[in-house]
Amino acid sequence: MLTVRAIRKKRGKGVKGISSLLPGPNSVRVGFWKGETNPIDIEKAIYQEFGTRGGASGGGWGGPIPERPFMRDALRDGREANRALLKSEARRIVLAAVRGASAADAKRMALRRLGIKIQGDIQASIASLTTPPNSPVTIALKGSSNPLIDSGELLQSVSWIVET
């Protein structure tokens, strides 16, 4: 599970964040949810993201699974776009508050937009990842060379939730 929290810091001394001063939710989480996602898919996501040593530690047919950091890559590659999105959303939140509209609703919508964007980034990372490649044995068993796509369940299991 990944947590993204929008925090604004004052110049000089850091403060907890302007986000907490306004009513409404304060974070969005993007990832795979226990109780909502098939536990096998959660296990696959962990093994692929961090790799395994093989054998008793899990992984394929006893062999190691190389690290394929699809979530970390998606966040790193989308960092600037996510910052730009948060900046434009901060303007919307402030304008909503100035106009007397609900700042909490504006925050909730901003976090939803961010969650949807990051979910899409992670799904795109899953779909486009090609290295390290599957072993020839895995390709023969799966019938596919895409390391993170087998049945499509991992791709479809990525979701987001807005939290207070």
State pTM to two decimals: 0.77
- Residue 16's pLDDT is 45
Average pLDDT over residues 34-46: 89
Fill in the DSSP letter of residue 68: -
> Model confidence at 126, in pLDDT bands (50, 70, 90)?
very high
Q: Is the pLDDT of residue 51 over 70?
A: yes
Of residues 114, 105, 90, the one with CA closest to residue 25: 105
**Tens-digit pLDDT profile for residues 153-162:** 888 999 999 9
- Residue 68's pLDDT is 93
pLDDT top residue among 41 and 19 = 41
**What are the start-end ranges of the H helices in the chain?**
39-50, 70-98, 103-128, 136-142, 153-157
Instruction: Write down the mean pLDDT value for the chain.
Output: 81
- Residue 149's pLDDT is 82
What is the spatial distance between Cα 76 and Cα 27, in angstroms, rounded to a whole number?
A: 18
**Tens-digit pLDDT profile for residues 62-101:** 578 889 999 999 999 999 999 999 999 988 888 888 888 8
**Tens-digit pLDDT profile for residues 106-124:** 888 999 999 999 999 999 9
Q: Which two tokens stand for residue 124?
A: 């795109």
Q: Is the pLDDT of residue 54 over 90?
A: no
